[in-house]
Amino acid sequence: MSEASKSFSYCSSIASGHYENFPVGSWLIPREKKKYVHTIYAFARKADDFADEKVYREEERLQLLEDWENRLEGCIDGGSKDPVFIALKETIEKFDIPVGLLKNLIVAFKMDTVNKRYKKMSDVLNYCDYSANPVGRIVLHLFEYKDPELHRLSDFICTALQLTNFWQDIAIDLEKDRIYLPLEDMERFGYTVDELKSHVINDTFRDLLAGKIRFTRGLFTQGLPLCTSVGKDLSLELRAVWSGGMKILEKIEKNGYDVFNRRPVITALDKVKIFSRALIMGH
């Protein structure tokens, strides 16, 4: 097995146990594309671990991310012995992926190390511009879709997916002392950080979260045309991802907005329904 093949296999092994928040990577992806999708995932996963995993000290996280960014810049010139960057170099060159998109992901992880609160919704959306939207654009490059309009539509879906994950994981993020609900909105509704930390579910909280879900669903709707604007190689996967995000929002509502005790998850039955819905959306 060549060094490149070993590197792609390594990236696939990192990806195989995850995919929790990655927009694309399921069995619906064409086989010839999977190793490249896995490589992008492995690159982002490693950086995310530097920003988040408890094995790293708070004071070393930023330096680890700086080093990761330097290795990204250096991998284009070759010479890297890290399997992630060996595979990434081929991926970048084969699909002409702008390195700036990968750098933007690192910017988001750096933001995670220093910012635990967001004052305005515009601040949260700015974070999504770096954390989520580059992923969709990279995936479009992997499938050789470079039309700016498609990339714009992708941003709507990726931001919506990121926000959905925030609302789904409010309790999990609190354990890391992170709050993605904008502080100004919480204050406007009369819901305090102490109440959030105490997992208080009242009408105020429900109204606050209901508004965020309506906003997120609107973004999904704005991005929907992307799902039928790409070819068969990507359309079904995007329709499934879109439907899955909408299903999570629906579950939050059905659970009475109790994201503290009833975190919404996609079950096996849900997956069947999502796939069926994705098929129907294509006709």
Over residues 84-98, the pLDDT tens digits come to 999 999 999 999 999
Closest CA to 176 of 260, 112, 122, 129: 112
The superfamily in CATH containing domain 116-283 is Farnesyl Diphosphate Synthase (1.10.600.10)
Tokens of 220: 């999904």
Q: What average pLDDT does the structure give for the chain?
A: 91
pLDDT at 146 over 90: yes
Q: What is the mean pLDDT of residues 236-261?
A: 94
Domain(s) of CATH 1.10.600.10: residues in the chain: 1-114, 116-283
* pLDDT of res. 78: 75
Report the percentage of the chain scoring pLDDT > 90. 73
CATH code for the part of the protein at 1-114: 1.10.600.10
* pLDDT of res. 17: 66
pLDDT in tens, 39-84: 999 999 999 999 887 778 888 899 999 999 999 988 887 778 899 9
Q: What is the mean pLDDT of residues 101-109?
A: 96
Report the percentage of the chain scoring pLDDT > 70. 94
Q: What is the mean pLDDT of residues 116-143?
A: 97
Q: What is the pTM of this model?
A: 0.92
